[in-house]
Amino acid sequence: MAPRYHYLPPQLLMIATVRVLPSWHLATHGMQAAVTAAVLVWVAGAAALNGMAVRSNPGDCRFSEVAFERSLRDAVRDFPLGSAVYVDNGLMPVKNDTFPGVAAVSLLLFPDQHFDGHPVYFVEPDADLLQRLRALGDKPIGRIVVAPGDVPADAHYYRPAPRQRAHAAPTGHVAA
């Protein structure tokens, strides 16, 4: 993955070039027009390449909040109103302490930890990550992430099919 400000050095170089260009005393008007055209092509090309680099993202790594919300809505709809629903926390391409999986997306979308009348908990198989999240104290993320062993035997457990992002039907409880 490219550094966050990877576009800055070429942009600064372009600004410096465009700033200095008018002070150049070229022999003929044609030569000045040619240099100006070359710099403009260079600036446009660099901007286009930087724009593509910023937007590049392999299709398999994309995560859609809308698809996640739709999937979660379809899952909880099949469970009795008010019952707790458990969801795997492993759908994100990047999971770390800063953004620990779909539990983080869920908190952004539903800060009260409830979705369509259901409290939703996220099952995190990574014991180290789970321990770090719980160590945050009374933070919401630490309250909604649970270990696989903490899921009750009769729980309403939603597990989307692998690589299916837009919709999946609940499959019932899966023993941990």
- Tens digits of pLDDT across the chain (176 residues): 445 566 667 777 777 777 776 676 766 778 778 877 887 888 788 777 766 655 545 554 455 677 778 878 887 888 888 899 998 887 565 666 667 888 888 888 888 888 888 899 999 988 998 898 888 888 888 889 999 999 998 888 887 665 444 444 444 444 43
The predicted pLDDT at position 150 comes to 92
* Residue 133 φ/ψ, nearest 5 degrees: -70, -40
Residue 89 and residue 61 in contact, taking contact as beta carbons nearer than 8 Å: no
Amino acid letter, residue 111:
P
pTM equals 0.55
Together in a domain, 79 and 132: yes
Together in a domain, 28 and 47: yes
Together in a domain, 38 and 119: no
Together in a domain, 77 and 138: yes
Specify if 170 maps to a domain: no
Specify if 3 maps to a domain: no
Question: What's the token pair of residue 152?
Answer: 């009750």
Specify if 169 maps to a domain: no
Domain membership of residue 108 as a residue range? 61-158
Q: What is the residue whose two structure tokens read 């008010």?
A: 82
Together in a domain, 34 and 98: no
CB atoms within 10 A of CB 9: 9
Together in a domain, 71 and 111: yes
HSE-CB for 89 with a 13 A CA cutoff: 28
Specify if 175 maps to a domain: no
Q: For residue 133, count CB atoms less than 10 angstroms from its CB and return exposed for 0-12, middle for 13-18, buried for 19 or more.
A: buried
**Number of structural domains in the chain:** 2
Separation of alpha carbons 32 and 22, rounded Å: 9
Q: Are strands 118-123 and 145-146 parallel, antiparallel or unpaired?
A: parallel
The predicted pLDDT at position 63 comes to 57
Together in a domain, 26 and 71: no
Together in a domain, 29 and 113: no
Q: Which residues of 15-43 are buried (b: 16+ CB within 10 A; e: fewer)?
A: eeeeeeeeeeeeeeeeeeeeeeeeeeeeb
Residue 50 and residue 86 in contact, taking contact as beta carbons nearer than 8 Å: no
Q: What is the residue whose two structure tokens read 């009795």?
A: 80
* Residue 93 CA to its chain's centroid (Å): 8
The predicted pLDDT at position 170 comes to 44
